[in-house]
Structure 1
């Protein structure tokens, strides 16, 4: 995968990925936390590379995530089949309404609240990381920290395997630029009541280094 752009939220994630790489054609860049800054930074990096005559061939949103208990273990690796903007929409007396269902013109939805991973990229990573759990990864602006919030996400997205904060933003930028996208995550904690003492960040970063070898 030459000409690959890998985006993380924080430097620790970028360093973990770089530790598993020995490939100068893979650029690993920490761009910040959340879908807005991740999307803006991705768009800028893609545009600059294209202007320089060295466009990236693919984009990976990578880093640490929370995993849904029973679907992926702490320390496990996730490959996102879809990036879903889980909190992009509107509240109503009948519950949450996704942006796709608000009656807006299609041209204003930018592909909608769900963007699929590139099939070829996903297949290549599945082959390289056969133990990875594959499924939708939710993008949230507020990390889930209660049982009620977890149950609501499971009800709305019964096949989701993890949640993070950047994937959808990166996916939108890649889609707008016509560049293939995929999401790679390792799990530091189960999604649910917030308990930082139970997070296994070191295990997740170690798993991220191991998974990064698939990007070479």
Structure 2
């Protein structure tokens, strides 16, 4: 057993429920669903923190009654994989993910693990457009302070660690990452940066690349989702496909169709 199905057994901490895959926008969610064994139906209104999506809201592949289902047997199991678009940016994505996890826990169907999935910008020379990326860690790349000497990460500002939610870096769960790497041997593996403002200048690109020599991509949700998963005690991973090179903003260089196709292919390999 490999891939998303195997992810259901990666840790003793996650004894029940399915896998939660969150994306920023519906188009990413549809690309993920298209790669699953049975196309998971869209959930009406699932587009952010205000979504009515609850645990098991989407009847994804693998949903079954299971032994003992029925009166007095507790809540029925949810789908093996639930895919929900939770909104753009680390704040709304983190808040919406936390809500989904809390609702699932309250319903007696806690999720086993959380994956942040979608498209991203890639660092030139580190990953190609259309490529697939697995994050070793998700980094809040613009959380901190500017100074005449350069950017100072929030971890170095002298705040008590308990106020930082684990700091500006959240590593991927080792077992879940190993499972994903086995299913996606062609994926580029490295840090994925989370930013609230997408990089769009040469100077900004150079600064990020210098500060994070192991970073391969940048997106806008991973760190927020990672913190939500960590607060819930769940394994986390981030999966991205590259739609454009990071650099001066140039919409003509975006390859959304290729990135969405790569996302579907990656999901198919994981199923």
User: Does the pair score TM above 0.5?
Assistant: yes
Kindly tell me the number of residue pairs found equivalent between the two proteins. 216
1:214 shift after superposition: 3.6
**Which residue, out of 85, 107, 116, partners 2:171?**
116
The separation in 1 between residues aligned to 2:252 and 2:122, in whole angstroms, is 16
1:210 shift after superposition: 0.3
Contact 1:61 1:170 in 2 (8 A): yes
The separation in 2 between residues aligned to 1:199 and 1:187, in whole angstroms, is 9
Report what 2:236 is aligned to: 181
The separation in 1 between residues aligned to 2:158 and 2:211, in whole angstroms, is 19
**Which residue, out of 96, 113, 134, partners 1:41?**
96
Larger helix share, 1 or 2? 1
The separation in 2 between residues aligned to 1:93 and 1:153, in whole angstroms, is 16
The separation in 2 between residues aligned to 1:155 and 1:200, in whole angstroms, is 25
1:19 aligns with 2:34: yes
SS at match of 2:215: coil
Runs of 4+ aligned structure 1 residues displaced above 3 Å come to none
TM-score, normalising length: structure 2: 0.79
Report what 1:62 is aligned to: 117
The separation in 2 between residues aligned to 1:147 and 1:73, in whole angstroms, is 18
1:101 shift after superposition: 0.1
SS at match of 1:161: strand
After superposition, where does 1:120-135 map in structure 2 within 5 Å? 120-135=175-190
**Structure with higher RCO (Cα < 8 A, 6+ apart):** 1
Unaligned runs of 5+ in 1: none
The separation in 2 between residues aligned to 1:179 and 1:164, in whole angstroms, is 21
1:106 shift after superposition: 1.1
**Which residue, out of 140, 144, 147, partners 2:199?**
144
SS at match of 1:14: helix
Report what 2:251 is aligned to: 196
The separation in 1 between residues aligned to 2:256 and 2:231, in whole angstroms, is 33
The separation in 1 between residues aligned to 2:145 and 2:270, in whole angstroms, is 37
Larger radius of gyration: 2
| Residue-by-residue CA offset, 1:98-151 (whole Å, 9 max, x unaligned) | 000000011111100000000011000100000000000000000000100000
Larger strand share, 1 or 2? 1
Report what 1:7 is aligned to: 22
1:215 shift after superposition: 3.5
The separation in 2 between residues aligned to 1:17 and 1:215, in whole angstroms, is 10
Report what 1:53 is aligned to: 108
Unaligned runs of 5+ in 2: 1-6, 9-17, 38-60, 62-78
